[in-house]
Each structure stands twice: as structure tokens, then as C-alpha cells.
Amino acid sequence: MTQIKVEDIIQRIEQFAPSYLAEDWDPIGLSFGTSDKVVNKLMIALDVDADTIQEAQELGIDLIFTHHPAIFKSLKTLNTENPRRNEYINLIKSDIAVFSAHTNIDAADYGMSDWLADAMELPKGREIISPSYQEGYKKLVVYVPERDVEEVRRALHNAGAGEVGDYQDVSYSIKGQGRFTPQKGADPAVGKIGKEEIVNEVRIEVMFPSQLTTNVITAVQTAHPYEEPVYDLYTLENEKKVYGYGRIADYEATTEEMIGKIISKFDLAGLKYASKDPKKLHKKIAVFGGAGADYYLEAKQKGATLFITGDVSYHNAQDMLRDGIDVIDAGHYIESVFVSEMSQVINKWKKEESWDLDIFPTKKQKDVFKFS
């Protein structure tokens, strides 16, 4: 079992939902604690609030990982007289670190938008409602002595190279011979000074998003046995990868049917909706996590006639009906899928890397709204 620190978890989250996907206004990241703090107990929650802090204190939690950032408004004082500030003081006193991934999780592949679409059983092959980031690709070609191929390949994949669509660890290899003559001053891993050396090598090719270039080059330089690894770096003209918020899919259901499905999937006591005909059959349905009302026209443009989101106002709903769109306001709290989904993802990392870590999905967090 490997003891881990806050920074180890952050590094994996960064690969899953890179911070460059987050909006500029979004205060994601480590809001409390230090990155070299050892983590034995991790709690996962939608928000940091009085309930989750108390739960974390009782469980002896080292790090809380939340979707919504803990500090959204700038602080001018930090005294116990304001309830929210008092929560912050409690976190600091209890030495509990807090890390958040918000709009980067919303935009990530298989992040919040896809979790919600999954829960609503929208089929895969979904379209993004509001693209937020486009990313080009690079290719690295590196020549590695045969005996070190697996180690270098593993290092490349750990750095995030070789993810293509739904496939991981994608690479291409071909055998060949590398030649070199070490010169005075060299300290060769193979061969002798002044003597030409011929080594059986493998050419490995991997593709990766441009943002990972430094990671990937560092990984290959660290794992490669040679003093001077030879590699080529190419910028690819391939179609860029698009990230963004909300998902649309071809799916036939009425507003009424979707309401029933959402209530049962998320175990809701109720929800709001606006529809001129709840029995009308929709062919394209859109889902947008959080408060997505501002994006309904983008969903309409892409063919959706039912828009599912949270925090819809009276005037939002009026506008949508005027534009011929039915809306279901399932509440912002359906984003609590973050807790179960992220727990599963981190549990997978824990197994892969033999982390000595206990994961606690929050049990005390609940929706602030009730129905009567």
C-alpha cells in the first residue's frame, strides 16, 4: 500500500478534468490545506457546508473533494461572527484540506454532463450543447532500447498519452536499429566512448493533447535509459477535440415520461416543469447540469425540444415555452451524482495505484430545498 498526499490525488484529478477546462471566474483547486499533507481519509461531497464539515470532523477526514468550490466570494474578514466564515475557521482548526473541481468536471469527458445524461439514460454519441474549449493534438515518436520498451510506454501512458476516444493506452511500435558513437564527455547507458554502437531499438509512437506536452516529454526523459533520448515531436492537423457543457441526444420520450424517470433515478420528492403538452413526444432531449437556463437556445438550435436543468426562474420558463421548448427543473442538487460517480473513479485509481486510502462519500449532505 502506498501512502499518498493531497498532491497525488490532485495530479490524477488533473488528468481526468484538467484545470484549463475551467472558466476563468471559477475558483477551483485547493482552497484549504497544503498539497504535501498525507491523506488517509478522503471525503467526497457536492459542497462544503456545516453538515459536511461536521461529518468530516467526526470521521477524521484529511481532505474533502467537492464539486462546488468552497470559497466563491472574496473574503474581507475571517472571524466567527459570520456563519460561512465560521465554517472556514472550523476547517482550518480541524486541519481539513479542501479541493474542488467544478466547471472543469462539467466540461470533461465522462464528467458531470455525461453522468447526468447517463442517469437520464440518454444514449451515447451525445452532442455538446455549449462547447467551451478546443484542444489540438501532438505526436511523440521515441526510439527506445528493446529491454526498456514497456517501462517507457507505461511512463507515457501515465503521463496521459495514448488516449483516443474511448480507448486508453494506444500506441504503435516497430522494431529497428539505433546507431551512435559516444564522444568524449558522454556517459552512455549502452556502448563505449569512440566506438560505434548498434542497438536493437523500438520506435514508439503516441498521440496526446497539446496541453500535456511538458508532462509527456518529462515522462519520456525520466523513464528512458539513454543520456540523450532521441525523440521527434509533431503538431498534428487532426480534428481538434472539443470539450463543453451540457449534452443532447436522440431520445424519444415525452416530458411526462422524463419527469417520472428523473424522480425515480434521483429519488426526488418533486420537481418543477413547464410544458404546454407534457404528453408530446420529443425526439431530441438536452440535459445541462447546474443552472443551465441561459443555454437553452443553443440546445434548441441543435434540435432539442426538451431542456432539463436546475435553478430555472419564472421568466426563464416563460421564455422557453415561447420558444417551443419544454423545461424540467430537476433542481441543482441532482449534481450530487458527483458523490457516487467520483467515489467510483477515485476507487479505481486507488486499486490501480495501491493507495492506502479510505474513501467516504458524504452521507449527511442533503438538498437545501424540500417539497410540501
> Binding site membership for a divalent metal cation: which residues?
67-68, 106, 332, 335
CB 126, min distance to Zn ion, A: 19
Cβ atoms of 46 and 339 closer than 8 Å: yes
Residues ≥6 apart with Cβ < 8 Å to 152: 142, 144, 204, 220, 223, 224
CB 110, min distance to Zn ion, A: 17
Task: Enumerate residues 237-266 that contact Zn ion by CB under 5 A.
Answer: none
Q: Which residue's CB is nearer to Zn ion, number 107 or number 204?
A: 107
**The three-state (H, E, C) secondary structure of 194-255, written as one string:** CCCEEEEEEEEEEEEEHHHHHHHHHHHHHHCCCCCCCEEEEECCCCCEEEEEEEEEEEEEEH
Q: How many other C-beta atoms can be found within 10 angstroms of the C-beta atom of residue 33?
A: 19
What DSSP character marks residue 46?
Answer: S
| Residue range at the interface with Zn ion (CB under 5 A); choices 148-156, 179-187, 248-256, 328-336 | 328-336
Q: Which residue's CB is nearer to Zn ion, number 68 or number 300?
A: 68
Letters for 16-55 (x = contact with Zn ion by CB under 5 A, - = none) are: ----------------------------------------
Query: Edge-to-edge strand order for the sheet containing 241-254?
Result: 127-135, 241-254, 281-287, 306-309, 326-329, 272-274
Binding-site positions read: 67-68, 106, 332, 335
What is the Cβ-side half-sphere exposure of residue 287, based on CA atoms within 13 angstroms? Answer: 27
| Residue range at the interface with Zn ion (CB under 5 A); choices 69-77, 196-204, 241-249, 330-338 | 330-338
CB 333, min distance to Zn ion, A: 9
CB 238, min distance to Zn ion, A: 33
Q: Which residue's CB is nearer to Zn ion, number 4 or number 22?
A: 22
Q: Say whether residue 69 binds Zn ion (CB under 5 A).
A: no
Cβ atoms of 212 and 137 closer than 8 Å: no
Task: Enumerate residues 261-300 that contact Zn ion by CB under 5 A.
Answer: 290
Q: Which residue's CB is nearer to Zn ion, number 206 or number 337?
A: 337
Q: Which residue's CB is nearer to Zn ion, number 67 or number 157?
A: 67
Q: How far apart are the first and last CA of the chain?
A: 49
CB 88, min distance to Zn ion, A: 20
Residues in the chain: 372
Q: Which residue's CB is nearer to Zn ion, number 163 or number 335?
A: 335
Cα 372–Cα 312–Cα 132 angle in degrees, nearest 5: 140
Q: Which residue is nearest to Zn ion (CB)?
A: 290
Residues linked to residue 209 through DSSP beta bridges, in sequence order: 137
Kindly list the distances between the CA atom of residue 162 and the CA atoms of 109, 133, 153, 156, in Å, as whole numbers in the listed order: 15, 20, 10, 8
CB 335, min distance to Zn ion, A: 5
How big is the site for Zn ion, counted in residues (CB under 5 A)? Answer: 2
List residues binding Zn ion (CB under 5 A). 290, 335
